[in-house]
Structure 1
């Protein structure tokens, strides 16, 4: 495959921005990313790369920002058609909207349609990797991975397992949860860019027998991920106490059945007890912050500063359709707002790190995705930092790169996404009809307003 050189501002990270963003970040106001065979060959000053690689096709983005593609670490693709449904908290919301919608994915054709729509929307918003719960239906898992495979995307997914407290059409058994999950895992995990996640929805919808069966499967296949929900809302926690009276806390309902480990992904994790935080830290598990969902259904305020200070792996996610936006930019903005309510203002570098490197690390894919560095997959997003009149007038006053980036984080949407690249291929939006894939296209450079910006 030919070499392709992308020119523009580049933003990358060498370390954990939650601990020391100034030491972790690398910004080049006239940078370049050299891509070949679906991977990043190198990054550096754009002029030098152009001189060293005269045979490379060139796309010059001017002063647009090139960074790693966004990584959405927790969502439910089946809920795409019901995003932004009005007025319920978690348990009522599940019964009113979620479960009826998920039952529709028993139809394999409909599941394929929803998977296609979800991934095209993700790409249009600059998201190149998505970790999703599927539904109880094995065909929904096949549809998810097949849609991603057709687009060359790295995704995570798994059959959602439930054998109680759900409609009959969404319940399986301990036996079928194990058997179906194992068969799907064998079929998809490691095929192309697919990663399987064993997926009990949450402990209220799984009996102890089912949790034990899935824990046994994870013990047999420890290389895969395990995803679930933890401590999202206070009424949910009370419900768990009643269902598991012997448990020390919510996390113990997973730990007791072998569902606590380093490759565990625990969505929400808002109302944690001290023991839960300690155990998550001890086993190096990941928690996933879903800020638009947490505010939309009134769950609470995630303790980003406290958990980051403890060294926990933290991912960032839309949680579609409990989350109210497909955009990781909007998700970053909501994370900032929640941080403010908790008394900690997250820096723009930290928000971008969470949406790329942080989420990739939570999925145990650090250095492979969400990373603008040699050897990583060439999954990239190019952001127009003046995509709307409101953003443009604010960015025109920018004194440095962060003044220019922050308005796009706070006010940006898919209009800010100038281009998305997946495995070295450029994807282009075409109205509402989805994504078409192409290989190269040269863009005219824009005026470089960034030359006077100091480096961080």
Structure 2
């Protein structure tokens, strides 16, 4: 099988390291759902997982360990998955001092205006995808802008890198600057063209993307619902109940809706491939309806803290059966790193008397997010036949991390130290369909790319 750059992946490659993946939602007490090899070997054939096993057991069966690419004391895991992120907002990450609605008007909208230029959008897409790979993220659910060419640019860059991505053109026909508005008619036309060009082409998947209910008229949400029903396998991404001011605005704009979620429900936008960013301030009725329809919530802890939006009650959602995924939400979120995101999720839950076990955190960033995005048939762990997107993690990237790791005794302790102290500097290599796409060498700041 040829990769997007035209080179050929060798028939079978072997990678040896500490290896961790999940076969189910982990039970830290019993070890169920967790598979960890202190000295493991991952076999990749034609870009897919061939086998996984203990190195010494495989050697005893005749496997030549000298054939492995060996990463002693490093950790191989499936690539991280991000369920909610905005590629046009990369340049406004860490912009000072606003809550949601002011932040959109003062930072986000002016930034997104630049994506009307196709060349600018193409360069921004490449830079964004490189940042994902540098952080160990190999799949994401991504917002573009209202400009169709920005979505074309994103999918083109993702296809060239052979990345599995979910994305879609933002639909926005009111309550935004004129230079960023489309219409129900133009958004339908643009979305149809993009769906037919990109959805299920290679590793690309399309998500209908009304930004959020305040910036779409009822007519535009109706268009989104019509398209959602017409094209099999589409995704839907938007925002829900992030900010109290936003919720009050919804009541003014949609006075006949029972609640915020009902606005989307009235237009047929709920379902197992619908992912709603945030979902912090939800009524019991909204939680029950999310669970009933299989609709998911993307938990964005760094964004929620940075914009002062609130604390997600994950235990409440999970107890009701709502799928919860983990997301960075760059640029409201403050890091591309899922390691940092897990750490902030831990703190958000601590503030509510809840606990995020490190095994659960890493499950969420891999198989859990794959399940939430209906991608666990092809991603999320090292089951044979799955797409071989994986990362090599340096567990001691700094002197402090090396010191802390030297005193850890269990896998859970190692992971907790990694998620608490770690960031993108821990990502040594990122592989996509078995091909190395990013490397960080020992020299500080020395990066190399295969693109």
TM-score by length of 2: 0.94
Runs of 4 or more consecutive aligned structure 1 residues displaced over 4 Å after TM superposition: 18-21, 50-53, 430-435
Counterpart of 2:449 (choices 436, 446, 452) is 436
How far 1:435 sits from its partner (Å)? 5.0
Higher deviation after alignment, 194-203 or 258-267: 258-267
How far 1:19 sits from its partner (Å)? 9.6
Matched, 1:79 2:83: no
How far 1:56 sits from its partner (Å)? 8.5
- Distance in 2 (alpha carbons) for counterparts of 1:55 and 1:433: 29
* Residue in 2 that maps onto 1:446: none
Matched, 1:286 2:299: no
SS at match of 2:31: helix
Checking the alignment, whether the CA contact within 8 Å between 1:38 and 1:377 is kept in structure 2 is: yes
- Distance in 2 (alpha carbons) for counterparts of 1:248 and 1:42: 51
* Residue in 1 that maps onto 2:41: 32
* Residue in 2 that maps onto 1:143: 153
How far 1:95 sits from its partner (Å)? 0.2
Counterpart of 1:97 (choices 99, 102, 107) is 107
Distance 1:434 1:142, change over 3 A: farther
RMSD value, Cα: 1.7
TM-score by length of 1: 0.93
**Where does the alignment leave 5 or more consecutive residues of structure 2 unmatched?**
1-9
The structure with higher relative contact order (CA 8 Å, sep 6+) is 1
Counterpart of 1:406 (choices 413, 416, 419) is 416
- Distance in 2 (alpha carbons) for counterparts of 1:165 and 1:394: 50
Distance 1:433 1:104, change over 3 A: farther
Checking the alignment, whether the CA contact within 8 Å between 1:19 and 1:309 is kept in structure 2 is: no
Q: Deviations over 1:388-415 (max 9, x none)?
A: 1111111111011111121110111121
* Residue in 2 that maps onto 1:452: none
Matched, 1:240 2:250: yes
Matched, 1:160 2:170: yes
- Distance in 1 (alpha carbons) for counterparts of 2:158 and 2:197: 15
Counterpart of 1:354 (choices 364, 372, 375) is 364
Higher deviation after alignment, 213-222 or 319-328: 213-222
* Residue in 1 that maps onto 2:237: 227
Q: Deviations over 1:344-379 (max 9, x none)?
A: 121110000111111111211013112122111110
SS at match of 1:23: coil
Counterpart of 1:60 (choices 64, 67, 70) is 70
Distance 1:190 1:433, change over 3 A: farther
- Distance in 1 (alpha carbons) for counterparts of 2:335 and 2:47: 29
* Residue in 2 that maps onto 1:447: none
How far 1:52 sits from its partner (Å)? 4.4
How far 1:55 sits from its partner (Å)? 9.4
Checking the alignment, whether the CA contact within 8 Å between 1:230 and 1:250 is kept in structure 2 is: yes
* Residue in 2 that maps onto 1:44: 53
